[in-house]
């Protein structure tokens, strides 16, 4: 965890489930870009979207020098800051696979700093580099404490599309997993 001055409120960067389920009062939001990182299903989920016996996959930010991730910066007002940060930490740091960081985001109104959760590449849940088909096979059957992995994938893909944010790999995965699920029925 990082030391964060939240007395004036704070920004948090959403790129996965925070896009469609922030779980906290949002005072303001704006599209934002994080350079040097890409959105990737590079974290095995053993709690929320899978189990230790059958891990699912969830999104994380994986460092890649020439990459970028488009998402949404959410502002948390001062009166909600302490509770929200505690709840974010409980949600995002359930295992030590995510690292809490402060990152500089680009927005149309200029740069801003935001709390951003990124993958710890030396953690055992890190699985960067899986082929898209392998990711699809895993997500089509995994289920965890917060529900099926398919729900996480489809909600994220739908929300990205609704907000006009493009992610070709995620769009491909959403379509492919729908085919796999229909073939399993």
Active site residue 100: no
Q: 106 - beta bridge partners?
A: 33
Strand ranges in 22-133 using DSSP code E only, listed in sequence order:
28-45, 56-76, 98-105, 112-119
Q: Which residue has the tokens 């001062």?
A: 78
CA distance 162 to 7: 33
Residue 85's φ and ψ, nearest 5 degrees, are -60, -40
Which of 52, 92, 113, 162 is an active site residue? 92
Distance CA 133, CA 145 (A): 24
CA dihedral 43, 57, 17, 90 (to 10 degrees): -60
Residues recognised as catalytic: 92
């Amino acid at each position: 965890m990082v030391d964060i001055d939240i007395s004036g409120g704070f920004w948090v960067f959403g790129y996965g489930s925070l896009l469609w389920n922030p779980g906290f009062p949002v005072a303001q939001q704006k599209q934002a870009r994080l350079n040097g990182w890409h959105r990737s299903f590079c974290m095995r989920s053993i709690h929320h979207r899978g189990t230790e016996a059958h891990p699912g996959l969830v999104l994380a930010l994986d460092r890649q020098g020439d990459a970028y991730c488009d998402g949404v910066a959410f502002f948390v007002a001062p009166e909600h800051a302490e509770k929200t940060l505690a709840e974010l930490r409980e949600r995002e740091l359930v295992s030590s696979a995510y690292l809490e960081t402060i990152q500089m985001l680009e927005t149309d109104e200029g740069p801003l700093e935001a709390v951003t959760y990124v993958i710890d590449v030396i953690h055992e849940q890190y699985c960067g580099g899986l082929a898209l088909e392998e990711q699809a096979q895993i997500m089509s059957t995994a289920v965890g404490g917060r529900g099926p992995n398919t729900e996480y994938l489809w909600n994220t893909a739908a929300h990205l599309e609704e907000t006009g944010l493009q992610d070709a790999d995620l769009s491909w995965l959403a379509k492919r997993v729908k085919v796999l699920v229909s073939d399993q029925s």
